[in-house]
Amino acid sequence: MNAALRYLWIVARVNGLKAFVRSLKRPRKAFGTLIWVAVLGLFVLGQWLNARQHGAMNLVSGPSLTMFFAVLLVAGTIAGLLQHGLTFHPSAVDFLFPGPFSRRQIAFYRIAALYPITLLSSLVFLVFMSARVTSLARLALALFLLQLVALHLQTACAIVSTALSDHLVRRFRGFGQAILGILVSAAFLVVFFADPPQGDTGVGIGIGSRIVGAFDSETARVVFYPAVAAARLVTASDWSSGAWPLIGLLACVGASLVLAVSLPFDWLEASLATSERAARMLDRARHGAATAEPTGNARAKRILGERWLFAGAGAIAWKNVVTLLRSVRMMVAALLSSAIVLSFVLAFARRDYSSGDPGILARVAPILLLLPVLVQQYLAFDFRRDVERIEELRQLPLRPIVVAFAEVVTPAAAVFVLQLIVGAIAVVVSGLSWVWIAFGAVVLPAFTMTIVVVANLAFLLFPVRAISSGGRPNVGAASVSSILNMLGFGVACAPALVAGFFVFDQWGRAAAAVCVGLAVQILVVTMLLALTGMAFARFDVTRTDG
Amino acid sequence: MIEVSGFSKRYDGTQAVRDLSFTVARGEIIGLVGLNGAGKTTTLRSICGILAPTAGRIAVGGFDITKQPVEAKRRLAYVPDTPHPFELLTVAEHLKFVGLAYGVAYAGERVDALLRKLELHEKRDAFASTLSRGQQQKLAIACAFLRAPDALLLDEPLTGLDPAGMRVMRDAVAAEAARGAAVIVSSHQLELVERMCSRVLVLHRGRLRALGTLEEIRAVADKGADATLEDVFFALTEGAPESPTGVDAERATG
């Protein structure tokens, strides 16, 4: 590597590490990091205990590993083709593109800059698979080398895609993402509904034997050679029998790197456009806005018309509704993630209960209730996205509690609609009575509103942005905020639950218990709205963590 | 030093620049002016090799930017309109990186003087992310000046600078030109261009509208001797036809 680029690579990584260590002095960051370490530690412990219990039966098979590694390769290749050029940080664009560096040097720097992340993601996979192999060292090596091949292929595909027009790639990107989304969803449905786990289950998620078997064919061995070599390295009985797969894998790493940096395409211009687009998305995320760029012409007026509902404070809700309607991807993502979680829950519930059994409700109800927590990152069209506009909101001739209500009503309504859709799917799949949907339509709004209000109140009191000012995800701090939200929601719902149980215990009438509980919850949410209004009025606009 | 010949650039179905030709000699400061979307940044980015010309030839120091990009880029420095320093590098580390990249000294008296002149000497060990917008702009300028380039391209160089910073910047650019650098300054600040530049290039909708000294482009715009660059600029760009007029082809390339 060029001396200047080598210096840049080293200094940026060392300074980044120092900055991370320094950030641990902040209690929330330290706590968030601790939680992540604890979660991974618990997972390793669980894996280890499981391995002790099941012994050799627990070991992952070669074809399963080949399939898993092949998925990594294919995902990298598709991601590269959808990228159209390489994505660089704006500072790299400013200094490297007009600098005295060849395209090959810049491409290699870009690849090398991703090696630490590749190593880190290999470690994460290692944690998940550690108890299912005989040699941890061979698994670590195979994972890292295979991920390097995937990274090189992704880079090569991203460079090759610059030969296509940006317009074509953009169209293809949406189509490709949709296909990937459908495939992933279909895989979940097939795995959990059509092909239940049986004996050796691949990488621990019940992969069907027929799918796994396809990766043991001669064709697959040629097409996915790096994956086959990596799997053979992992399943080798010792280092000497794993030597040839290791040599093969190293050759793949070298060949893919040479391919990535030697492609004779002029990718700088396409990469500039891609990098600028990525920088705009990052900037929007940093400021709390949706990451998707608005495209096409505005049609809000046709969608919403001139409604009395959107007068006065309603204007804030109108603004949030318009933003929501223009963020279809967010809504699809929310619906998709809800559907995936629901498919898990229903799959397990159907094993334990027969169709139409109200017992299924005990599994589905908590999902519906906690859906806002799951999807709030997609539908937070409230104070969390307006954090840069707090001063403008304060200038409106409205009382703080009214502003607070107007801000939270849109995401609450959106989540409620989502709850009804997910609930309807659950009713159809599990054969439950539609009366439960009607019941949910009466009860859920107050609780959904509570979750959204608690999330906004917590945000105004302890603001955390998804992306820090340094452009890095605030994962640790965001984890702490999520936990605080959950605790806050539990505390906010406790009075209603206690009141409901008390009424039921005293008079034995479920309808009365529900009505009393609901009334208490509405009272609580009104009080929380008042508190949110106060927090909004006193919010220090200079105080945003990150 | 900088030769642009028949340069055209088209992307996303838009003709950003059309058949542009001009040269910038050593020691000359040329002002690039035009309305938003006129093609100024596209021209600068193409000269420094970030964008590939759709047609025409661009050379820096005799090296074709598309055929010998590394040699051409070694001779130029580009300061973009919005600075993006590496957030995790200090001021001194930026200078060291640039020094290593271009093979020039990144420490010593000359560097100290440069940092002092740009009022960055006290921020030498500060991370770029902690600098103000103006200080980041000064850092980008320091990185450009450190390597004493043969060709200097400045896109809105005074944005974010305070009045004192603006004066320092103007003097520094003049000093670079006096040293022998060919300088192109793209700016909306017409007063600055009028004061700093020996020639002005007016771009309008991607086409060369006029090129020459202020006196020469006054004549093109049919304006009197007391007309400012602003008067001339609006006369040339308001209701201007699609094709270039009044431009002497020989002057345009000289």
Q: Parse chain B into domains and list their residue ranges.
A: 2-252
Residue B254 — pLDDT band, cuts 50, 70, 90?
Answer: very low
Facing residue for A98 by CB, picked from B52, B73, B88: B73
- Tell whether the model's pLDDT for residue A215 goes beyond 80: no
pLDDT of residue B24: 93
pLDDT of residue A197: 41
Residue A22 near chain B (CB below 8 Å): no
Q: What is the pLDDT of residue A405?
A: 92
Contact B50 A8 (CB under 8 A): no
> Residue A478 has what pLDDT?
66
Q: Does A469 touch chain B (CB under 8 A)?
A: yes
Give me the residue from A4, A19, A469 closest to B97, CB to CB.
A4
pLDDT tens-digit readout, A158-192: 898 888 777 777 666 666 666 666 655 554 454 44
**More confident: A322 or B73:** B73
Which tokens go with A102? 């060849």
Q: Give the residue carrying structure tokens 């006369």.
A: B235
Residues of chain A in contact with residue B48, where contact means CB-CB under 8 angstroms, are: 97-98
- The tens digit of pLDDT for each residue in B143-193 reads 999 888 999 999 988 887 888 888 888 888 999 999 999 999 998 888 888
Burial of A439 (0-12, 13-18, 19+ CB in 10 A): middle
- A107 pLDDT band, cuts 50/70/90, is very high
pLDDT higher at A310 or A224: A224
Give the pLDDT confidence of A479-497 residue by residue, as tens digits. Answer: 667 777 788 888 898 999 9
Task: Write down the pLDDT at residue A453.
Answer: 92
Per-residue pLDDT, B244: 44
E strand or H helix that includes residue A106: helix A103-113
A56, pLDDT greater than 70: no
CATH superfamily of the domain spanning B2-252: P-loop containing nucleotide triphosphate hydrolases (3.40.50.300)
Q: HSE, CB side, 13 Å, CA atoms: give it for residue B17.
A: 28
Q: Determine, for residues B50 and A268 on separate chains, whether the beta-carbon distance falls below 8 Å.
A: yes
User: Where is pLDDT greater, at A23 or B75?
Assistant: B75
User: pLDDT grade, residue A258 (50/70/90)?
Assistant: very high
Say yes or no for a CB contact (<8 Å) between A95 and B143: yes
pLDDT beyond 70 at A140? yes
A147: left (phi over 0), alpha (psi -120 to 50) or beta: alpha
CA of B196, closest CA in chain A: separation in Å? 25
Q: Chain B within 8 Å of A305 (Cβ-Cβ)? A: no
Q: Do A470 and B76 lie within an 8 Å CB cutoff?
A: no
Between A62-81 and A166-189, two packed helices, what is the crossing angle to 10 degrees? 150
Q: Given CB atoms, is A100 within the 8 Å cutoff of chain B?
A: yes
Residue A198 has pLDDT above 50, yes or no: no
Give the pLDDT confidence score for residue A171 in this predicted structure: 67
Residues from chain A contacting residue B90 (CB–CB below 8 Å): 15
Q: pLDDT-based confidence at A199, cuts 50/70/90?
A: very low
- The average pLDDT across A127-140 equals 79
Instruction: Output the pLDDT for position B178.
Output: 92
- Per-residue model confidence (pLDDT) at position A437: 83
pLDDT at A194: 42
Cβ neighbours of A308 (radius 10 Å)? 7
Strand partners, B184: B30, B153
pLDDT tens-place string over residues B28-40? 999 999 988 888 9
Angstrom distance (rounded) from CA B221 to CA B201:
13
Q: Which of A146-155, A211-220, B15-24 has the lowest mean pLDDT?
A: A211-220
Instruction: Count contacts between A and B (CB, < 8 Å).
Output: 88
Per-residue pLDDT at B154: 92
From the CB of residue A16, how many other CB atoms can be counted at a distance below 10 Å? 15
Q: For residue B187, which of B165, B175, B170 has the smallest C-alpha distance?
A: B170
Distance in Å, alpha carbon of A93 to nearest chain B alpha carbon: 9
Across chain A, mean pLDDT equals 78
Q: Tell me the residues of chain B between 59 and 78 that have a Cβ less than 8 Å away from chain A.
A: 69-70, 73-74, 76-78
Structure-block tokens of residue A234: 């992992």
pLDDT of residue B77: 92
CA gap A381, B43 in Å, rounded? 40
Residue B10: per-residue pLDDT: 87
Across A105-133, average pLDDT: 85
Confidence of residue B195 (pLDDT cuts 50, 70, 90): confident
Rounded CA-CA distance B133/B131 in Å is 7
Residue appearing with tokens 């801000």: A407
Span A98-120, average pLDDT: 91
Identify which of B52, B56, B13 has the alpha carbon closest to the alpha carbon of residue A166. B13
Q: Is the pLDDT of residue B27 over 60?
A: yes
Q: Is the pLDDT of residue A325 over 60?
A: yes
Taking an 8 Å cut-off on Cβ atoms, the answer to whether A16 and B88 are in contact is: yes
User: For residue range A436-481, what is the model confidence (pLDDT) as tens digits?
Assistant: 888 888 888 898 899 889 988 888 887 766 555 555 556 666 666 7
Q: For residue A97, what is the DSSP state?
A: T
Q: In sequence order, which residues have a C-beta less than 8 Å from that of residue B83 and are 6 or more positions away?
A: A94, B133, B136, B137, B139, B140, B160
> What's residue A204's pLDDT?
41
Who has greater pLDDT, B173 or A30?
B173
Reported as a single tens digit per residue, the pLDDT across A226-252 is 988 888 888 888 888 888 989 999 999
Q: A348-406, pLDDT tens digit by residue?
A: 666 666 666 777 777 777 777 777 777 766 777 888 888 778 888 888 888 899 999 99
Neighbours of A334 (CB within 10 A): 23
Residues B93-121 have pLDDT tens digits of 999 999 999 988 777 788 888 888 888 88
What tokens were used for A270?
Answer: 């396409």
| CB-closest option in B78, B100, B140 to A4 | B100
**According to the model, what pLDDT value does residue A322 have?**
81
